[in-house]
């Protein structure tokens, strides 16, 4: 049985070059970058060199990069840190309805504990925020807008530069979560004209527990981790030097391979999408058909539940994910899929594939062999499917 891993949005193996670069900083070069003696000063120099590598990936000045423990922390620092630093202007923030939980829950925190008003902005059927809708949502008290650059669930890419320019015209800060897209699509914070942008190490082939936040020069942020003067006082705690080295090397490799990576991913992605749509009836391809992340393919299969499909594929050696999640005895339907207008009974059948350049055409073909059979088997168990087929004249109820 072939083993195929297609859930790189959840976790990605550390690249060999990254691991090799990290290892010396666990023992031989273990100094605290804040220490004044040579061992600490050497670590500080290394850390700043890696900061410059991360900055180059997104076209930013090195001094405008804050190292964090993950993309979720970067999002928390951006949303809560920027909003709380600008209370004098107002207490209204806008986030799209399909943001990552780290953005959505940061917004809810501000709403619950700091009396903020939060607008959860609707998206169109492709999951894109329309500028006209954002413009209508802006108020004199709006301090921050946060829109994800690329969706980790449906793959859709937003027109960030257009949305950010609109906010700039109205004096509103703009943050974008670029965790899902960094390393596979070009990102330049100057061209995008954003005030804040979040990154994470694992999607780049870096280690877990690493991330970064770009912030525009002069922007005030309230720290979310209080300690000493690390990261220029914006994020306390001793820096994770091995992780920072890994993040820097991963960013450098991703930048050098960006075009080749994107082309490779698009080829594999399109092979998968065309095969699924061509072989399986009653399937909905979710997200924008063209303006989407190069390594992302997402579907909803009518008449089945996504988690059951994930388990069945796992038994056949295939790792994928679903937009729905079982919690206790209730099936929670993905809010992202509901936001793009899918009915709950369809959204429950979601399946998400996220690819790596290391995946092969043979692996994609194996998935295209096993997936139709898995869907057909699950549908044969489903009373919902039987009723649908009976109503369509395709078989007994």
Largest CA distance in the chain: 80
The one catalytic residue among 167, 300, 319, 326:
326
Q: Which residues make beta-bridge pairs with 32?
A: none
Instruction: Name which of 159, 237, 250 is nearest 200 in CA terms.
Output: 250
Instruction: Name which of 120, 127, 391, 157 is nearest 282 in CA terms.
Output: 391
Task: Give the other-Cβ count within 10 Å of 188's Cβ.
Answer: 13
On the CB side of 124, CA atoms within 13 Å amount to 13
Tell me if residue 70 is catalytic. no
CA–CA dist 255, 91 (Å, integer)? 38
Cα 145 off chain centre by: 17
Q: Which two tokens stand for residue 8?
A: 């790189």
Alpha helices by DSSP H, listed for 138-217, are 160-169, 189-192
Contacts of 25-31 with C-beta under 8 Å, sequence gap 24+, read 25/241, 25/242, 25/245, 26/242, 29/241, 30/241, 31/241
CB within 8 Å of 18: residues ≥ 6 apart: 205, 206, 207, 246, 249, 250, 253
Catalytic residues: 326
């Amino acid at each position: 049985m072939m083993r195929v891993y297609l859930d790189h949005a959840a976790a990605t193996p550390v690249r060999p070059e990254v691991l090799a670069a990290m290892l010396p900083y666990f023992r031989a070069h273990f100094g605290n970058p804040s220490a004044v003696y040579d061992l600490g000063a050497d670590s500080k120099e290394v850390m700043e060199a890696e900061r410059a590598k991360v900055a180059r990936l997104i076209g930013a000045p090195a001094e405008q990069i804050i190292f964090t423990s993950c993309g979720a922390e970067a999002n928390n620092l951006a949303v809560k840190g920027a909003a709380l630093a600008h209370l004098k202007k107002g207490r209204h923030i806008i986030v799209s309805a399909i943001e990552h939980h780290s953005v959505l829950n940061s917004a809810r925190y501000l709403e619950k504990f700091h009396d903020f008003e939060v607008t959860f902005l609707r998206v169109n059927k492709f999951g894109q925020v329309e500028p006209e809708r954002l413009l209508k949502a802006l108020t004199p008290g709006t301090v921050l807008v946060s829109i994800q650059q690329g969706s980790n669930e449906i793959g859709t890419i937003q027109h960030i530069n257009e949305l950010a320019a609109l906010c700039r015209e109205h004096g509103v800060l703009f943050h974008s979560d670029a965790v899902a897209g960094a390393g596979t699509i070009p990102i330049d914070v100057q061209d995008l004209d954003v005030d804040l942008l979040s990154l994470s190490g694992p999607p780049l082939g870096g280690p877990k527990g690493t991330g970064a936040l770009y912030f525009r020069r002069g922007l005030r942020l309230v720290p979310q981790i209080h300690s000493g003067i690390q990261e220029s006082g914006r994020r306390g705690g001793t820096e994770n030097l091995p992780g920072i080295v890994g993040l820097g090397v991963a960013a450098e490799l991703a930048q050098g391979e960006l075009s080749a990576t994107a082309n490779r991913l698009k080829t594999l992605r399109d092979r998968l999408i065309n095969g699924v749509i061509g072989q399986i009836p009653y399937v909905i391809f979710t997200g924008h058909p063209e303006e989407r992340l190069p390594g992302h393919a997402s579907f909803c299969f009518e008449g089945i539940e996504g988690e059951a499909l994930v388990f069945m594929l796992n038994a056949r050696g295939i790792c994928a994910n679903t937009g729905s999640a079982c919690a206790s005895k209730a099936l929670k339907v993905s809010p992202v899929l509901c936001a793009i207008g899918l009915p709950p009974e369809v959204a429950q059948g979601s399946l998400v594939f996220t690819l790596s350049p290391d995946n092969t055409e043979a692996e994609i073909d194996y998935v295209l062999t096993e997936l139709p059979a898995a869907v057909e088997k699950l549908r044969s168990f489903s009373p919902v499917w039987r009723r649908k087929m009976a109503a369509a004249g395709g078989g007994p109820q």
